[in-house]
Amino acid sequence: MKLCTTLRPIVLSLAVAAAVAAVSGCQREAAPDNAAKPAAAAPAQDAAAKAAQLNKIYADYWEAYLKLNPVLATFTGDARYNAELPDFGSQQYRDELRKFHQDWLAKVEAVGADGLTGQDLLNYNIFTKDARDAIASFEFPGWMLPVNQMDSTASLAVQFGSGNGAQPFKTVQDYDNWLKRAARIPVLFDTEIGNMKQGIAAGVVQPRVLMEKVVPQLDALIKDKPEDTLFWGPVQNFPKDFSDADKQRLAEAYRKLIAEQLMPAYRKLRAFIADEYLPKTRDTVGLDKLPNGAAWYAFNAKQSTTTDLTPAQIHDIGLREVERIHGEMRKVMEQVGFKGTLQEFFDYVQTDRKFEFKSEDELLKYYRALEDKVNRKIPEQFSLVPKSPFEIRPVEPFRAKSAAGGQYYPPSEDGTRPGIFYVNTYDLPSRKIWDAEDLYLHEAIPGHHFQIALQIELKDMPAFRRWSIQSAFAEGWGLYAESLGKSLGVYTDPYSYFGYLQNELWRAIRLVTDTGLHSKGWSREQVIEYMKQNSAVSDTTAVAEAERYIAWPGQALAYKIGELKIKELRARAEQALGPKFDVREFHAEVLKDGAVPLDVLEGKIDRWIAAKRPG
């Protein structure tokens, strides 16, 4: 669920940090005597008025942003703009979006941050930094690279129009909304073709290895008969309460839309990519091989990690982490008495059938028993937990083949839909017992369910923050949650602890390979070989992961960097507070304000430590 761009962090000035040093959340020191209260009253009133003024601006901003980005509105469940689809890649829209961010940043900065504390200061700092980074992103011509094998308008349109995505198909109005929205898709494709032509002229083109994957993806979507396309899904699944007249009218309208507008547009896009674009693609794979590409990748890395770490620093962190985790894995090998190399141990845990579930039912029972086991220990680690209900479900058969091993879907705002941990039971031999505990901790409890559900429940938080996904925080929390396994009563089996180490290793490898590709001249083949030499990974997975990193430069850096920062802050708090450190309070402090950039997290944890420090 990536609804808003993850943006690089703010760097708090010493003046701002000093202004909030004595404040931790809602905790405030009492005035020393009555004489001090009148002098403080006016500034407090001014700050309250300023916060109210800013909250009104944030609310107006969100309303304006949803109107400008109706697809985001659909994702959030706001149906007002479900028939609209702007030409996102056009020069006009890009200019409008840049001015939008500039104007709203000016409005917020005109109010200023003086006197703001707690959540009000967090809101201000995050909003202004997000806006500045959004403006800075226009320096880089991402609009010239609108298509890759991971995502594109073509694939998003199918997700929306198939009836299985965010676009609703429950009422006649819903069906008419999609007719209007889908009629705009050919316009977007034409703009993207024009943008790719500009990219060819400017030397900003995709790697050939990626675009070779796109052509068969488009071929799979192009059909001669409308009834054979995925866009026919809503017609096949008309709600039972639709009248025969509505069904007949809509079926004919959808048939015409697909045959006369959508399929011709898909064929045109496919022909352009195969015949004109592919011959102009590049043999290199790194973003740094494009004009201004080194600066572009450094910007992406800061966006993804919400830190000021350079690609070179991140690469070195990854190398150190790979070496450290290999050392921990060798301790597991000694513990279980395995004789052989680390690579041989990788092969053993991947191939020995004792690590396999015998049936789907056995797998689901294992996870549900795991839920009970973890929940018994949660009160020892957490005082702040979500109110939203939680369920474990198997991944639906129609999407199991291509779905991940586990996925978390957040609860609805009104509490009618629980948070759901979907467990993939497809290809049972690949779902290892030793991989179950760490997967559950990451995707479910206390990982994404705690972090995301709590954020949704923050009703007083401005919408721009409730719907923002700061990947370094969110994925960092998921990885950190895995590290809590022994405290939560799991990882008692050494192979399950190995499963945790294996997943931690994979995130460390991402730091090495992503930065290797985009800042150190590594080839696709070099990345694949590094993965195979240093972890238990199949050829298929190694290829898919390498090409993911090529398509999304910097995205994979968020996980490990976020985890390391949370661990660093916990160690700092434990050392500073000694016996006064309470892990439950620490976890509450990390989670209580929702997802934030990592330096904002660091600032608020430092203030929390200062407020609790003895003496």
Whether the Cβ atoms of residue 359 and residue 428 lie closer than 8 Å to each other: yes
Name the band, by pLDDT with cuts 50, 70 and 90, for residue 310: very high
Is residue 94 classed exposed, middle or buried when 0-12, 13-18 and 19+ CB atoms within 10 A define those classes? middle
Query: How high is the pLDDT of residue 23?
Result: 22
Q: Hey, where are the domains in the chain?
A: 14-139, 153-288, 355-496
pLDDT, averaged across the chain: 90
Query: How high is the pLDDT of residue 42?
Result: 60
pLDDT in tens, 381-424: 999 999 999 999 998 775 676 567 888 988 877 777 889 999 98
Q: Is the pLDDT of residue 274 over 60?
A: yes
pLDDT in tens, 85-106: 999 999 999 999 999 999 999 9
Distances (CA, A) of 171 to 91, 168, 241, 413, 594: 35, 8, 9, 22, 34
Q: Is the pLDDT of residue 333 over 50?
A: yes
Q: Which pairs from 347-354 meet CB under 8 Å and 24+ separation? A: 347/536, 349/432, 349/434, 349/495, 349/498, 349/536, 350/432, 350/536, 353/429
Phi-psi region of 118 (alpha: psi -120 to 50; beta: other; left: phi over 0): left
Q: Is the pLDDT of residue 321 over 70?
A: yes
Whether the Cβ atoms of residue 174 and residue 82 lie closer than 8 Å to each other: yes
Query: How high is the pLDDT of residue 339?
Result: 94
Query: How high is the pLDDT of residue 401?
Result: 67
Q: Which two tokens stand for residue 585?
A: 């309070």
Q: Is the pLDDT of residue 31 over 70?
A: no
Q: How far apart are CA 61 and CA 443, in angstroms?
A: 32
Which strand ranges, in their side-by-side order, compose the sheet holding 419-423?
390-394, 419-423, 406-409
Query: How high is the pLDDT of residue 540?
Result: 80
Whether the Cβ atoms of residue 465 and residue 495 lie closer than 8 Å to each other: no
Helix axes 471-483, 436-443, angle to 10 degrees: 140
- Higher per-residue pLDDT: 537 or 512: 512
Distances (CA, A) of 454 to 90, 450, 459, 469, 550: 37, 6, 10, 13, 33
In this structure, are strands 406-409 and 419-423 parallel, antiparallel, or unpaired? antiparallel
Handedness of CA 341, 344, 349, 352 (dihedral sign): negative
Q: How far apart are CA 302 and CA 299, in angstroms?
A: 5
pLDDT in tens, 455-493: 989 988 999 998 888 899 999 999 999 999 999 999 999
Q: Which of 156, 153, 176, 185 is nearest to 234 (CA)?
A: 176
Query: Around 372, how many Cα atoms within 13 Å sit in the side-chain half-sphere?
Result: 5
Least trusted range by pLDDT, from 74-78, 360-364, 445-449, 499-503: 74-78
Name the band, by pLDDT with cuts 50, 70 and 90, for residue 518: very high
Query: How high is the pLDDT of residue 39?
Result: 46
Strand partners, 184: none
3-state secondary structure 104-116: HHHHHHHHCCCCC
Sole residue written with tokens 């045959």: 259
CA 64 to chain centre: 23
**Secondary structure of residue 22 in the 3-state scheme:** coil
DSSP H/E element including 52: helix 36-68
Query: How high is the pLDDT of residue 35?
Result: 39
Q: Is the pLDDT of residue 33 over 90?
A: no
Q: Which of 549, 556, 508, 557 is nearest to 527 (CA)?
A: 549
Query: How high is the pLDDT of residue 110?
Result: 97
CA 177 to chain centre: 28
Query: How high is the pLDDT of residue 164?
Result: 81
Q: Which two tokens stand for residue 18?
A: 């000093």
Q: How far apart are CA 144 and CA 91, in angstroms?
A: 11
Q: How far apart are CA 528 and CA 513, in angstroms?
A: 9
Contact residues for 522 (Cβ-Cβ < 8 A; gap 6+): 286, 513, 516, 530
Neighbours of 568 (CB within 10 A): 13
Q: How far apart are CA 557 and CA 549, in angstroms?
A: 10
pLDDT in tens, 565-598: 999 999 999 999 999 999 999 999 999 999 999 9
Whether the Cβ atoms of residue 312 and residue 519 lie closer than 8 Å to each other: yes
Whether the Cβ atoms of residue 509 and residue 556 lie closer than 8 Å to each other: no
pLDDT in tens, 191-220: 999 999 999 999 999 999 999 999 999 999
The share of the chain scoring above pLDDT 70, in percent, equals 92
pLDDT in tens, 17-26: 222 222 222 2
Contact residues for 138 (Cβ-Cβ < 8 A; gap 6+): 94, 98
Contact residues for 122 (Cβ-Cβ < 8 A; gap 6+): 593, 596, 600, 604
Query: How high is the pLDDT of residue 275?
Result: 98
Q: Which two tokens stand for residue 556?
A: 């994979």
Q: Which of 206, 591, 548 is nearest to 404 (CA)?
A: 548
Ramachandran angles phi, psi of 422, nearest 5°: -90, 125
**Over residues 226-255, mean pLDDT:** 97
Query: How high is the pLDDT of residue 36?
Result: 40
Instruction: For the chain, give the number of residues.
Output: 615
pLDDT in tens, 106-145: 999 999 999 999 889 999 999 999 999 999 999 999 999 9
Query: How high is the pLDDT of residue 10?
Result: 21
What residue type is assigned to position 182 of the chain? Answer: A
